[in-house]
């Protein structure tokens, strides 16, 4: 197993459930990622929504990445955490006036605009503040990223982005708006994308779609390809890093870059997923019909991905060395959707055992809630034991 005896004895003392972050793995991941960014001369903004834990943000900021935000509070948090405003971008289909004001006052790099009325509102607010907003147009390229339907964001039927049939109207509007400046196009087609060739389609489509704007006389100094690179939930210990090599070499090979154009990315999950664990205690083992339930003290309020997307996280029993058996692993919350998955092969499991739910660094702590009036779980770090 990948946890040392010393850590497991700490785990035994701490109140469960809790999140545990392996900071050295996070650093290794960031170093690897940054090595590719530097190699190809790309720019990256970390998607705060994947994990906005202070410690994690500090590690990410300190390697020089920018921030990709999807709410005014995320913009405020990024600023407070010391991210350079010139490296903050702000996306989202429903930016409120208050959020737009926060971002304008913060002097962020760019708004990733998702609709015609949004551009009008940003222009009006910017004009009132005597400011000019830099905007990228988030384009809906109608690409199916072959991921879960709730995290597909680039198909024509999805709510995100501006579709090509609106380009003429958007362009006319931009000509009239004196307080917004178009700097580029933005794409983000989904999350947990494991079919890397999807990104080749994205490169080709992005280049084609840019042409229309260039023909109208636009200069597009920025092309932002978003995030979405997936990680291995089934085998986290053998695949501790996302396949950055395939991803970046494919993009480098297929993307035609305009002269003087910067290429931007917005990684979230791929940077933080594998460094996080949800550590939980087995409360009861209960005989069900034909299989036992292992009932944990962690539930969907600590990790909602199985309930929300049918996700399956690898689970390890940290204490038992018994012969393996099958268990349905469930939480204590009063919802049948509060489960971590069916038929897990675990060593014989009993009350009091500690389990590690792996790949819990992205979209877990940050989605934590207090449903059933349950406590919000604490976080611990490998380097502050
Ligand atoms: C969520 C999000 C990301 C990050 O997605 P990952 O799948 O976590 O890499 C990037 N850009 C935008 C606009 C997002 O909404």
What confidence category does residue 156 fall into, taking pLDDT thresholds of 50, 70 and 90? confident
What confidence category does residue 193 fall into, taking pLDDT thresholds of 50, 70 and 90? very high
**Mutation to probe ligand 1, out of 49, 161, 273, 363 (largest number of atoms < 8 A from CB):** 49
**In a domain? residue 61:** no
Contact 224, 185 (CB under 8 A): yes
pTM for this model (two decimals): 0.96
Checking if the pLDDT of 385 tops 60, the result is no
Contact 184, 224 (CB under 8 A): yes
Ligand 1 pocket check for 269: Cβ under 6 Å: yes
Give mean pLDDT, residues 88-114: 98
CA of 252 to the centre of ligand 1 (A): 20
CATH code of the domain containing 316: 2.40.37.10
Considering the domain architecture, whether residues 292 and 375 belong to the same structural domain is answered as yes
Ligand 1 pocket check for 296: Cβ under 6 Å: no
**Mutation to probe ligand 1, out of 29, 50, 69, 308 (largest number of atoms < 8 A from CB):** 50
Ligand 1 pocket check for 45: Cβ under 6 Å: no
Checking if the pLDDT of 155 tops 90, the result is no
Considering the domain architecture, whether residues 93 and 119 belong to the same structural domain is answered as yes
Q: Compute the distance between CA of residue 247 and CA of residue 214 in angstroms, rounded to an integer.
A: 27
Ligand 1 pocket check for 231: Cβ under 6 Å: no
pLDDT at 165: 95
**In a domain? residue 179:** yes
Considering the domain architecture, whether residues 241 and 282 belong to the same structural domain is answered as no
Question: pLDDT (tens digit, 9 = 90+) per residue, 317-374?
Answer: 999 999 999 999 999 999 999 999 999 999 999 999 999 999 999 999 999 999 999 9
CA of 176 to the centre of ligand 1 (A): 31
Checking if the pLDDT of 384 tops 80, the result is no
Considering the domain architecture, whether residues 261 and 317 belong to the same structural domain is answered as no
More confident residue, 384 or 36: 36
Considering the domain architecture, whether residues 279 and 261 belong to the same structural domain is answered as no
Checking if the pLDDT of 1 tops 60, the result is no
Q: Compute the distance between CA of residue 142 and CA of residue 153 in angstroms, rounded to an integer.
A: 9
In which domain, by residue range, is 357 found? 5-18+274-384
Considering the domain architecture, whether residues 139 and 242 belong to the same structural domain is answered as yes
Ligand 1 pocket check for 190: Cβ under 6 Å: no
Specify the number of domains making up the chain. Answer: 2
Q: What contacts 24+ positions apart, CB below 8 Å, involve 160-163? A: 160/93, 160/114, 160/188, 161/114, 161/187, 162/113, 162/114, 162/115, 162/116, 162/137, 162/138, 163/139
Tell me the pLDDT of the chain averaged across its residues: 96
Question: pLDDT (tens digit, 9 = 90+) per residue, 42-81?
Answer: 999 999 999 999 999 999 999 999 999 999 999 999 999 9
CA of 48 to the centre of ligand 1 (A): 9
**In a domain? residue 43:** no
What percent of the chain shows pLDDT beyond 90?
93
**Mutation to probe ligand 1, out of 60, 65, 67, 68 (largest number of atoms < 8 A from CB):** 68
Q: Compute the distance between CA of residue 277 and CA of residue 273 in angstroms, rounded to an integer.
A: 9
CA of 123 to the centre of ligand 1 (A): 25
CA of 119 to the centre of ligand 1 (A): 21
CATH code of the domain containing 173: 3.20.20.10
Ligand 1 pocket check for 359: Cβ under 6 Å: no
> Domain end: 266, 291, 322, which one?
266
**Mutation to probe ligand 1, out of 29, 43, 47, 265 (largest number of atoms < 8 A from CB):** 47
Worst-scoring range by mean pLDDT, 140-154, 168-182, 249-263?
A: 140-154
Question: pLDDT (tens digit, 9 = 90+) per residue, 209-228?
Answer: 999 999 999 999 999 999 99
pLDDT at 151: 77
Ligand 1 pocket check for 236: Cβ under 6 Å: no
pLDDT at 2: 72
pLDDT at 144: 87
pLDDT at 78: 98
Considering the domain architecture, whether residues 225 and 361 belong to the same structural domain is answered as no
């Amino acid at each position: 197993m990948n946890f040392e005896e010393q850590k497991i004895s700490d785990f035994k003392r701490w109140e469960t459930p809790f999140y545990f972050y392996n900071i050295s793995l996070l650093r290794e991941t960031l170093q690897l990622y940054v090595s590719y960014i530097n190699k190809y001369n790309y720019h990256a903004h970390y998607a705060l929504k994947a994990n906005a834990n202070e410690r994690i943000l500090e590690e990410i900021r300190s390697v020089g990445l920018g921030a990709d935000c999807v709410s005014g509070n995320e913009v405020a948090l990024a600023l407070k955490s010391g991210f350079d405003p010139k490296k903050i971008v702000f996306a989202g289909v429903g930016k409120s006036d208050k959020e737009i004001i926060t971002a304008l006052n913060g002097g962020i790099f760019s708004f990733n605009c998702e609709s015609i009325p949004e551009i009008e509102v940003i222009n009006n607010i910017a004009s009132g503040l005597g400011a000019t907003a830099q905007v990228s147009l988030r384009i809906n390229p109608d690409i199916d990223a072959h991921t879960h339907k709730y995290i597909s964001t680039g198909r024509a039927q999805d709510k995100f982005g501006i579709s090509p049939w609106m380009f003429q109207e958007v362009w006319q509007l931009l000509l009239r708006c004196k307080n917004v400046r178009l700097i580029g196009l933005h794409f983000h087609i989904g999350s947990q994308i494991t079919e890397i060739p999807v990104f080749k389609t994205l490169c080709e489509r992005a280049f084609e779609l840019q042409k229309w704007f260039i023909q109208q006389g636009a200069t597009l100094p920025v092309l932002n390809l978003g995030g979405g690179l997936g990680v291995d939930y089934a085998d986290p210990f053998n695949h501790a890093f996302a396949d950055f090599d395939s991803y970046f070499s494919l993009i480098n090979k297929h993307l035609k870059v305009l002269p003087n154009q910067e290429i931007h990315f917005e990684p979230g999950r791929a940077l933080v997923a594998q460094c996080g664990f949800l550590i939980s205690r087995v409360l009861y083992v209960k005989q069900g019909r034909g299989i036992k339930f292992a009932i944990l003290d962690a539930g969907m309020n600590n990790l909602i991905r199985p309930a929300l997307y049918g996700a399956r996280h690898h689970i390890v029993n940290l204490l038992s060395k018994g012969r393996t058996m099958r268990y349905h692993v469930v939480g204590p919350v009063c919802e049948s959707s509060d489960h971590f998955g069916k038929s897990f092969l675990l060593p014989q499991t009993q009350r009091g055992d500690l389990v590690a739910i792996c790949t819990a660094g992205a979209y877990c702590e940050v989605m934590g809630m207090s449903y059933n009036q349950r406590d919000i779980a604490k976080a611990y770090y490998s380097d502050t034991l």
